[in-house]
Structure 1
Amino acid sequence: MSSTVRSSSVHGSSAEGSLAVAGAMLHYRVQGSGPLLLIAQSGEGDAGRTVDMVPHLTDTFRVLTYDRRGLSRSRLEEPGRTTSLAEHAEDVHRLLAVVTDEPALMLGCSMGALIGLHVAARYPEQVSTLVAHEPVAPRLLPAQLRDRHEAELAGLQELYRASGLSGVFPEMARVVGIDPSRQDAEPGLTPQPIDDQRRVNFGYFIEHDLSAVIEDTLDPAELTRTQTRIVPAAGADTPARVFDRRCATELADLLGAEIQTFPGGHNGNTTHPRAYAEKLRSLLATRP
């Protein structure tokens, strides 16, 4: 472990630690054994977001999850500062350098997938395969669609400021293609209520991370040159017309690849953790 790791604790095959990076302290968790698999979460998700999926992966992979900068235990030196996608990618670069000397596998969901695309472009030697599930990446879209969907994201920010979380949740669901009245899920899931910490995380995500997405500078051409294997993915229940699914489609077209279909919708990793883990395991076992 690097000397930049401030603290760590080990419980059986699980370890937690803190990594000092420029402007922040990152909290992370490692569980299981085998090749390293980094999961970059969506939305306000922190290291515990995929609590139901990780146990279905740890017999095959050493699973790394973390609190993205600005969320939960990953504290900012300047609270309320917007973190760019380039900085998020740098955080992943430094985190991987501490945890492994080998190229890692990576699952990125939504904003986590966009971070993964930046890592693939900037640090391809660190990630052998990236599964990019419905990346929230306007720069992948044609100009007219990009402008429309960036306006959608800005509209979410305006609605949040006017109506709070309760007012913005229905519109957030619509934007990513979730119909709460029709959403199914596997039985026995761990409850994840909207507690005080998640409210704070949602606030940071909406006010700052959405701004970072709108202001993103990803160059899609770099993705065609990376040595990282990028696997575009989307949920079976996500409508083809919505922003995140269109981004996955454009990524597949850019790379000349087939979109891999995962169980559930935009948040299939939390609603269908067993089936999602099985699909992910199958994909990661397949070599191009």
Structure 2
Amino acid sequence: MPTTGLLPVDGATLYFEQRGTGPLLLIAQSGEGDARRSTDLVDALADDFTLITYDRRGLSRSTLDDPHRPVAMADHADDVHRLLAHVADSPALMLGCSFGAVIGLHLAAEHGDQLDTLIAHEPVAPWLLDAEAEPHRRELAGLQDLFATGGLPAALPAIAKSLGIDPAHPDTEPGLTPQPMDEQRRSNFARFITDEFTMLRTDPGCRDRLATTRTRILPATGRTTPTTVFDHQAAHRLGALLERPVLTFPGGHNGNTTHPRAWAAQLRTLLYAHCR
């Protein structure tokens, strides 16, 4: 069982979980994901790493002091900065998936000394896309409009298509922990689409500071993610910006949940090879 904790930060209280032994690896989730979204991946890595997962402010058990106060990307990056200051006594490893990868990039830009290595898997970052940035921002706005008029039944298929996910032909490992669409998950999705999509659309980014960060940033994408979708393109633009090859992980955009054991094997090899 994980050790759980609550950490007061500026404007919120963060819920986090810690499990395992070894080098500290923080996992920042994608989408509506909270601390338990990647439970199978954590299970597979617990003998090799000390795993930290957490609920982003406003999701699940991480409460806001003022629910009406807008949350900025800088708040999320500062939350991880404070969480790592609380649990780590040396530079940590970080896996950022989708939205979590964007948080990781901002943390690397602001507090690069806190991270040894960041794996940035398919960051949802329009600011990496140059001329294609504005169409992607409009795409996110269109998904918000779909949610406003038709709720999750209308928005989720469109979001999956936007990310290159094919729900009709799922490619997953066997024996995964079920993640039902319960009331808490629906609430997290609502916040993700209404508030955090706006955050992604308006985020000015930090590309000018990434080349000088002390953090080793490893861009990554999914093996089955179509090359035409923005998350794949953003990972490759990040690789070009940093002049680093783009890693390929099993599965697609959500490979951390669909292929957790294969991901664990690749992370184990990769992170021990890069750990300084």
Tell me the TM-score normalised to structure 2 length: 0.98
Instruction: Say if 2:53 is the partner of 1:79.
Output: no
Query: How far is the alpha carbon of 1:219 from its aligned partner?
Result: 2.4
Q: Secondary structure at the match of 1:253?
A: helix
Corresponding letter in the other structure for 2:228: R
Aligned to 1:250: 237
1:134 correspondence with 2:122? yes
Distance 1:26 1:54 in 2: 19
Q: What's the counterpart of residue 164 of structure 2?
A: 177
CA distance in 1: counterparts of 2:204 and 2:115, whole angstroms: 20
Match of 2:184 in 1: 197
Q: Distance in 2 between matches of 1:130 and 1:80?
A: 32
Whole-angstrom distance in 2 between the partners of 1:18 and 1:37 = 18
Q: Distance in 1 between matches of 2:196 and 2:269?
A: 31
Structure 2 residue 229 is the aligned partner of structure 1 residue 234: no
Could you tell me which runs of 5 or more consecutive residues in structure 1 were left unpaired when the two chains were aligned: 1-10
SS at match of 1:208: helix
SS in structure 2 opposite 1:264? coil
1:183 shift after superposition: 2.0
Q: CA deviation at 1:281?
A: 1.3
If each structure's helix is expressed as a fraction of its own residues, which one has the higher value? 2
Between the aligned partners of 1:15 and 1:192, the Cα distance in structure 2 is: 21
Task: Indicate conservation of the 8 Å contact 1:67/1:73, yes or no.
Answer: yes
Is residue 49 of structure 1 aligned with residue 37 of structure 2? yes
Q: Is residue 130–residue 229 contact of structure 1 (8 Å, CA) maintained in 2? A: yes
Match of 2:84 in 1: 96
Taking the aligned partners of 2:188 and 2:274, their CA distance within structure 1 comes to: 36
Residue identity opposite 1:71 in structure 2: L
Instruction: Trace 1:101-180 onto structure 2 (pairs within 5 A).
Output: 101-142=89-130, 144-180=131-167
Q: Aligned residue for 2:249? A: 262
Unaligned runs of 5+ in 2: none
**Structure 1 stretch 59-68 or stretch 273-282: which is displaced more?**
273-282
Would you say 1:273 and 2:241 are equivalent positions?
no
Task: Report how far residue 82 of structure 1 moved.
Answer: 3.2
- Report % sequence identity: 55
> Offset at 1:266?
0.2
Tell me if the contact between 2:239 and 2:245 (Cα under 8 Å) persists in the aligned partners: yes
2:19 aligns with 31
Does structure 1 retain, via aligned residues, the 8 Å contact 2:105–2:206? no
Aligned to 2:257, what secondary structure does the other structure show?
Answer: helix
TM-score, with structure 1 as normaliser: 0.94
Match of 1:222 in 2: 209
Distance 1:127 1:196, change over 3 A: same
Q: Per the alignment, in what secondary structure is the counterpart of residue 52 of structure 1?
A: helix
Is the aligned partner of 1:282 residue 2:275?
Answer: no
The one-letter code of the counterpart of 2:107 is V
Mapping 1:203-214, distance limit 5 Å: 203-214=190-201
d(CA) in 1 for partners of 2:269, 2:125? 25
CA deviation after TM superposition for structure 1 residue 80, in Å: 4.6
Q: Secondary structure at the match of 1:247?
A: helix
User: Are the counterparts in 1 of residues 117 and 274 from structure 2 also a CA contact under 8 Å?
Assistant: no
Q: Are the counterparts in 2 of residues 82 and 211 from structure 1 also a CA contact under 8 Å?
A: no
Query: Following the alignment from structure 2 to structure 1, what is the Cα–Cα distance between the partners of residues 145 and 119?
Result: 31
Aligned length: 275
Partner deviation per Cα, 1:72-91 (whole Å, 9 max, x = no partner): 00011122543111110000
Q: Which amino acid counterpart does residue 218 of structure 1 have in structure 2?
A: G
Alignment correspondent of 1:6: none
After the TM superposition, list the runs of 4 or more consecutive aligned residues in structure 1 that deviate by more than 6 angstroms.
none
Equivalent pair of 1:82/1:212 in contact (CA under 8 Å): no
Per-residue CA shift, 1:74-129, capped at 9, x if unaligned? 01112254311111000000000000111000000000000000000000010000
Q: Check whether the contact 1:80–1:204 (CA below 8 A) recurs between aligned residues.
A: no
Conserved 8 A contact 1:81-1:208: no
Determine which of 52, 56, 68 is the counterpart of 1:64. Answer: 52
